[in-house]
Amino acid sequence: MLKKLTTIGMTLFSVALLSVVAVALTADEILDMVDAEADTLAEGSMISIIRFDNVYSDNTTGTNLFGSLSIPNRSLIYFMEPADVIGTVFLTHEFDEEGVDSRLWLYLPLLGLPKELVSEDERGGSFAGSSLSYSDLGDRDGDDDYDSVLLGEEDVVIGDQTRTAYKIEATAVPGADVDDPRTILWIDTEFLIMLKMEAYNDLGNLSSTMDIVELGEFEGKLTANVMLAADVSAGSTTTITITDQRRPDAAVSEDVFLPENIKAFDAVLWGFAD
């Protein structure tokens, strides 16, 4: 199954470094290639600024701004706006071992200590009131949890571009503990970026979607500038915009991502505060 990377920018926008060779591929081979190229992109360190624009079922709205630091298998998301959540931090540790769950922490300045999110209710809670959960940003389902089938190729229109995509259906194997029993992915055939996704619940109903609505480039490669996440069940949407993405001058130390160091995190040093 397509892995969820450990930064919002990379969680949502896996980019290939090379074009796909024109040979017959299976769904699992395509997803493995997406994972491998995403791992290549994740090497080193990344700084991102991301905005969430939420529209809720009652048509009220809300906006959040985040600063994100990431290295392979580690990410830190700092809440920059609105004022009442400044200084909140979401920390993720991901592991390469099959079957080993990610560890997630939430730091609230008023409490002064990071709380690890362990239960399904905690991990499934809404991230900053958005259509995404903490689990969406920090977890990934294992390859062994799904049977994946290549359904063919389809064109996907994004803005003024028409991209050809592999259409892949992934169905959970019996007994697998997964969030989405059935998922359909559209993967760009040239650059292996996920163009859109549909997830279905236990009843077979559409539960959530993810669509790129604006394409861009990062380090000369195709990526996503804007994505739209929809929680169909709740009737809410979140537009995710990457306003800045860059490599730091020097690699980010692993010490930054230790739970015990969150309280001392220097937002000014990383450009997340004045």
Each residue of 3-42: pLDDT tens digit? 343 344 444 433 322 333 334 689 999 998 888 777 777 7
260 in a domain, yes or no? Answer: yes
Contact 207, 197 (CB under 8 A): no
Residue 177 covered by a domain: yes
Instruction: Examine residue 74 and state whether it is found in any structural domain, yes or no.
Output: yes
Asked if residue 173 belongs to a domain, the reply is yes
In this model, does residue 137 exceed pLDDT 50? yes
Instruction: Flag whether pLDDT at 255 surpasses 50.
Output: yes
Instruction: Evaluate if residue 200 carries a pLDDT over 90.
Output: yes
Identify which of 175, 147, 110 has the alpha carbon closest to the alpha carbon of residue 26.
Answer: 147
In this structure, what token pair is assigned to residue 94? 């991901």
Q: Using CA atoms, how far apart are residues 89 and 272, in angstroms rounded to an integer?
A: 12
Question: What is the per-residue pLDDT for 22?
Answer: 38
Q: Are strands 206-218 and 221-231 parallel, antiparallel or unpaired?
A: antiparallel
Comparing 5-14, 151-160, 178-187, the range with the smallest average pLDDT is 5-14
- Does the residue 32 lie in any domain? yes
Mean pLDDT of the chain: 87
Distance CA 268, CA 274 (A): 6
How far is C-alpha 147 from the geometric centre of its chain's CA atoms?
21
Record the pTM: 0.85
**Domain harbouring 36, CATH code:** 2.50.20.10
Query: For residue 181, what are the domain limits?
Result: 8-264
Does residue 270 fall inside a structural domain?
Answer: no
pLDDT band at 272 (very low <50, low <70, confident <90, very high): very high
Q: Report if residue 1 sits inside a domain.
A: no
Segment 75-97 mean pLDDT: 94
Q: Identify the H or E element spanning 135.
A: helix 134-138
Q: Are 16 and 221 in contact (CB under 8 A)?
A: yes
Q: 46-55 and 61-71: which strand pairing?
A: antiparallel
Q: 269 lies in a domain?
A: no
Cα–Cα distance measured from residue 113 to residue 111, given in angstroms and rounded to the nearest whole number: 6
Query: How many structural domains are present in the chain?
Result: 1
